[in-house]
Structure formats: structure tokens, C-alpha cells
Amino acid sequence: MPDVQGAQRFELRDAVAADASELAELTTAAWRTAYAEILPEGFLGAMDVSAREERLRERISDPGLACFTIVAISGGRCVGFVSGGPARATADGGEVCAIYVAPDHCGRGFGRSLLGAAAARLADAGYTQARLWVFTRNRAARRFYERCGWRAEAGRAYWRRDGLRRQLTCYSRSLAKGARLDEARLETAITR
Ligand SMILES: CC(C)(COP(=O)(O)OP(=O)(O)OC[C@H]1O[C@@H](n2cnc3c(N)ncnc32)[C@H](O)[C@@H]1OP(=O)(O)O)[C@@H](O)C(=O)NCCC(=O)NCCS
């Protein structure tokens, strides 16, 4: 890797249970910022950080789950993460289940590196196709996925919680041999 002057070094690694608290805080901050126009303030304000932390800890610690969580570490803190595993809604393929970058670190290449690492991990697990779901109204994330080579599919689904219902759009990409994975190296540098 070229040693770019002024570049900010960061590391991608598998999450450990001790990351759960930071990841729960990060997810909550990302939802409150990115979904302010999509979900009601009351719902976002009432998000339960400790329940989310517990779910994350269980998922990270369960070796029986064919799921992974990869974190981006910069300046000694977790600034983003991606998780994935077998597709939940279809019988075949892999899925990127969640990707969040801390609001003060968005737009600096962390998301692209994390998404590339998730695609590489799913390809290594033998999947030839990956999917993910995004709020249809989350235009920023949809542009991000499109810039990273994912394509919107025709199908629609709905996210439902606490009496709320929001449309989701499915994105997919090929992981077949020969597909350009934009694979992230485990230690890399942000140059912008
Ligand atoms: C969506 C998210 C993961 C993207 O991560 P990021 O670190 O901000 O994105 P990057 O800096 O790696 O950008 C990668 C590419 O996407 C583009 N992109 C990122 N955000 C964009 C936006 N809001 N509008 C247009 N393009 C965007 C970048 O320009 C870049 O393209 P380029 O490399 O060709 O210049 C991050 O912004 C985030 O966590 N958002 C809030 C939570 C969220 O919506 N998560 C997705 C849930 S489905």
C-alpha cells in the first residue's frame, strides 16, 4: 500500500464481544441522524441502547451463527461496522444485514471499505450473490450502494415495528468468480 502523506490509517477486524457497547451507541447515533426524516422523533428518541448492546453481544459471541461483524477502528475507537451472513428472506445467497459509519466519520471511505470487506467475506463463504435491504426513502445510502456497484431489484418489502411501516428496497450484487469485489485489505488508509 502506498504510504500517502496525511492519510488516516485504520484497521478492519472482526468484532469481539467487548465492542458491543460501542457498536450499540454507534448504531443509535446513526439511526437518529440518518433516519430523522424517515422515522418519528419519538421512536428514535426511545431507542433502547442497552437492549441493542445485549443483542449485538449475543450475535458476536455465538459461534453457532454463520454471521460475521467487521469493525473499522480509527484513532482508537470504532468508527463503523458491517454485519452479514446467510440471506434471511430467501433460501439462497448471502446478505449484508447492517452497515453503519459514525456520523462524524461519514463520507471518508469507511463505508466503501466495510462493504467491500463484507462482500469478500460472503464470497469466501461460497455465496455467489449478495443482497441487502434499505429504507426506500434512504436516498443517501441508496446512492452509496449504487456507487459501490450494487443494483436495485424490482422486489419490495416492508419494515414494521411499533405500529410503523416503511417500504424497503432490495439491492443485490454478484459475488461470482471474476466479479470485482472492491475487496478491502485488513489494514488500509483513508486518503480524504
Ligand atoms: C451509508 C454509509 C454506510 C456510507 O458510508 P460512508 O463511509 O459515508 O461512505 P463512503 O465515504 O465510503 O462513500 C463511498 C462512495 O459512496 C458515495 N456516497 C456516500 N454517501 C453518499 C451520499 N450521501 N450521496 C451520494 N453519494 C454518497 C461516496 O461519494 C463514495 O463514492 P466515490 O468513492 O465514488 O466517491 C454511511 O453514510 C452511514 O452509516 N449512513 C447512515 C446509516 C445508513 O444509512 N446505513 C445504511 C443502512 S441500509
Q: Which atom of ligand 1 is nearest to the CA of 31?
A: 42
For the Cβ of 145 lying below 6 angstroms from any atom of ligand 1, the answer is no
- Asked whether residue 84 is domain-assigned, the answer is yes
- Asked whether residue 147 is domain-assigned, the answer is no
For the Cβ of 16 lying below 6 angstroms from any atom of ligand 1, the answer is no
| pLDDT surpassing 80 at residue 180 | no
Confidence band for 188, pLDDT divided at 50, 70 and 90: low
Q: How far is the CA of 139 from the centre of ligand 1 (A)?
A: 10
- Asked whether residue 175 is domain-assigned, the answer is no
**pLDDT tens figures, 32-61:** 999 999 999 999 999 999 999 999 999 999
- Asked whether residue 183 is domain-assigned, the answer is no
- Asked whether residue 122 is domain-assigned, the answer is yes
**pLDDT tens figures, 10-26:** 999 999 999 999 999 99
Domain extent at residue 72? 9-131
- Asked whether residue 136 is domain-assigned, the answer is no
Q: How far is CA 139 from CA 34, 35, 37, 87, 132, in A?
A: 10, 11, 11, 23, 15
Q: Which atom of ligand 1 is nearest to the CA of 107?
A: 11
**pLDDT tens figures, 131-153:** 999 999 999 999 999 999 999 99
Q: Which atom of ligand 1 is nearest to the CA of 141?
A: 1
For residue 182, the one-letter residue type is: D
Q: How far is the CA of 72 from the centre of ligand 1 (A)?
A: 15
Please report, for the domain that includes residue 101, its CATH number. 3.40.630.30
- Asked whether residue 166 is domain-assigned, the answer is no
| Number of continuous H segments (helices) and E segments (strands) in the chain | 5, 8
For residue 161, what are the contacts with CB-CB under 8 A and spacing of at least 6?
43
What is the C-alpha to C-alpha distance for residues 120 and 145, in angstroms, rounded to an integer? 15
* Predicted pLDDT at 90: 79
**pLDDT tens figures, 67-116:** 999 999 999 999 999 999 999 887 789 999 999 999 999 999 999 999 99
* Predicted pLDDT at 148: 96
The three three-digit cell numbers of residue 158, written as one number = 416492508
For the Cβ of 170 lying below 6 angstroms from any atom of ligand 1, the answer is no
* Domain count across the chain: 1
- Asked whether residue 155 is domain-assigned, the answer is no
Q: Which atom of ligand 1 is nearest to the CA of 106?
A: 8
Which residue CA neighbors atom 4 of ligand 1 most closely? 111
